[in-house]
Amino acid sequence: MEQFENQLHYDLHRFLVSMEEADERLPECPDVEKKWDEIAKEYIPDGITEFNEFPSASLGWMMYIGMAVAKFWDVEWDIYSKIENLYVYMRDKRGYDNMDEYIREEVLMLSGADYTALEIIVGECASRVYNALLHQDIEPGTKDAFNAYVTCLRQLYLMGVAMQLRRMGYRMTKMD
């Protein structure tokens, strides 16, 4: 599974760098990374339920969640870090199906071309990850399938964080 995760990481990172959505050096944001386990625990039952019919949404929503958590970290982490579960907090604003719109409109404050451009980028990332997952030749419904799905979600979350930090002006460059 480690090789698969490394492959996803590399592919997503290269794609986002080519789109000027991520820096060569990825950010380190321990506060946001620590939220992963809590978010994943609550997200996975919803995501799995949607996966068979809407795999791109099931995967892509996690990228939006990563972006939202990065935004929360930047603006008022002292408040948002205390919310019992940020995923449930976001989901319950408009429901699972409309969580992407809630995040783009109310958390990231996007509209017009920026709103649509982000939808396209997240959709492409979700499609890339789904394609990579299909090529793993893992039997559906197995422990390996579950672990691969969680691996996909984790990489999308982390790349969403990286994208949003860059969009907010954080630049990751090597210090001399």
Give the model's pLDDT for residue 175.
56
- The DSSP secondary structure of 36-100, one letter per residue, reads HHHHHHHHHHHHHHHHTT-HHHHHHHHHHHHHHHHHHHHHHHHHHTTSS-HHHHHHHHH-GGGHH
pTM, to two decimals: 0.95
Q: What is the pLDDT of residues 135-171, one digit of tens each?
A: 998 998 999 999 999 999 999 999 999 999 999 988 7
Q: Which DSSP letter does residue 107 get?
A: I
Mean residue pLDDT of the chain comes to: 94
Ramachandran assignment for 26, one of left (phi > 0), alpha (psi -120 to 50 degrees), beta (any other): beta
Residue 69 has pLDDT above 80, yes or no: yes
Residue 25 is encoded by which pair of tokens? 């050096």
Q: Is the dihedral of CA 15, 86, 29, 103 positive or negative?
A: positive
